[in-house]
Amino acid sequence: MILNTGARTDTVQYFSDWLLKRFKEGYVYTRNPLFPNKVARYELSPDKIDAVLFCSKNYAPILPRLREISDRYRTHFHYTITAYGKETEPGVPTIDESIKTLTELEKIVGKEKIAWRYDPILLTEDYTVERHLAAFDSMAERLAPHIDRCIFSFVEMYKKLETNMPEIIPFTQEDKDRIAEGLGAIAAKRGIWLQTCGTNGDYSRYGIHSSGCATLEILGKANRCEFRDLKHKGLREGCHCIESRDIGAYDTCLNGCKYCYANKSPEKARKNYSLHDPDSPLLLGKLEKDDVLTEGNQKSFLSSAGRQSSLFEAGLD
């Protein structure tokens, strides 16, 4: 099973103590977001987890104890660093702080396990095409020695975003081409593998690759292990990532990013955050009497050789 810690909330930044305790105790509960009374239990022993996926905008809170996870599990880290300031990402560290933290992360896990996310890209009167390209170039120069790849995407104009960020200027295809061409040229200059995320079009003419953000190929290469050759179902329509099990919860992230799809509002996130108990197997609250608890599906994607290698490393063969 691929364990995802950061698709629904920034678990690393706001729930690190809880996450570390779950790995120490060896299991976690997670609610089904569509059917909240259905709760799945996942075993977190190394022989049950093929890899742990992280996605965060601030790894500083977990760095002092990250080896408790990274020394025992295969891992991969997505680090989102964008051009936006506090007016758009209130709870996110500055660019300089983020780059410093990423370099510290690299010292622990190695560059081959780190993907820099420059997404979502959106346009406003302040964040123009030219500003994005200048910011990306500056960041790429500093980050290139410390990352395996960069992933970008254009913002999806879902209805909630029209309310939360009315200042967004809709993309034209010309805008997208100008940005993609500029990003491709900068990435080539800096020696960075650049790829799109999701259904963002084909920009291969600019040297940009089209791939899932978390494929078995990427995870296998980063962790020097062998996975089976399987079709990737993705996390949503148009996604090319391998399926994973997310242990987070929507409407809990305090970053306050105006473009966020995972929070209905900052107020709801703050209210839910107050329900967090670091000692609970659930990220929010506790198991209730009407909850239906079941064992989660934890099928392995490792090849036969990969499973034998895991047993050997664990001394279980």
DSSP state of 302: B
Question: How many helices (H) and strands (E) would you count in the chain?
Answer: 10, 11
| Residue recorded with tokens 């709801």 | 268
Q: Which residues, at least 6 apart from 36, have a Cβ–Cβ distance to it below 8 Å?
A: none
pLDDT of residue 310: 57
Q: Which residues, at least 6 apart from 28, have a Cβ–Cβ distance to it below 8 Å?
A: 22, 41, 42, 44, 247, 281
Q: How buried is 20 (Cβ within 10 angstroms: 0-12 exposed, 13-18 middle, 19+ buried)?
A: middle
pTM to 2 decimals? 0.93
- Its sign, for the CA torsion 163, 241, 179, 97, is positive
User: 92, 93, 78, 169: which is closest to 132 by C-alpha?
Assistant: 169
- pLDDT tens for residues 10-61? 999 999 999 999 999 999 999 999 999 999 999 999 999 999 999 999 999 9
Instruction: List, in sequence order, the alpha helices (H) in 15-72.
Output: 16-25, 67-70
CB-side neighbour CA atoms (13 Å) of 184: 16
User: 202, 223, 180: which is closest to 310 by C-alpha?
Assistant: 223
**pLDDT above 70 for 227:** yes
**pLDDT above 90 for 163:** no
**CA 224 – CA 211 distance, rounded (Å):** 19
- pLDDT tens for residues 259-300? 998 898 889 999 999 999 999 999 999 999 999 999 999 999
Torsion of CA 96, 97, 98, 99, to 10 degrees: 50
CA distances from 197 to 68, 75, 202, 213 (A): 30, 20, 11, 6
Residue 25 has which token pair? 């105790």
Instruction: List, in sequence order, the alpha helices (H) in the chain.
Output: 11-14, 16-25, 67-70, 95-109, 129-143, 159-164, 173-190, 216-223, 266-273, 304-314
User: 39, 30, 24, 37: which is closest to 3 by C-alpha?
Assistant: 30
- pLDDT tens for residues 83-123? 999 999 999 999 999 999 999 999 999 999 999 999 999 99
pLDDT of residue 312: 40
**CA 305 – CA 19 distance, rounded (Å):** 30
Question: Average pLDDT of 198-205?
Answer: 81
Let me know: does 92 contact 58? Beta carbons within 8 Å.
yes
**CA 74 – CA 224 distance, rounded (Å):** 9
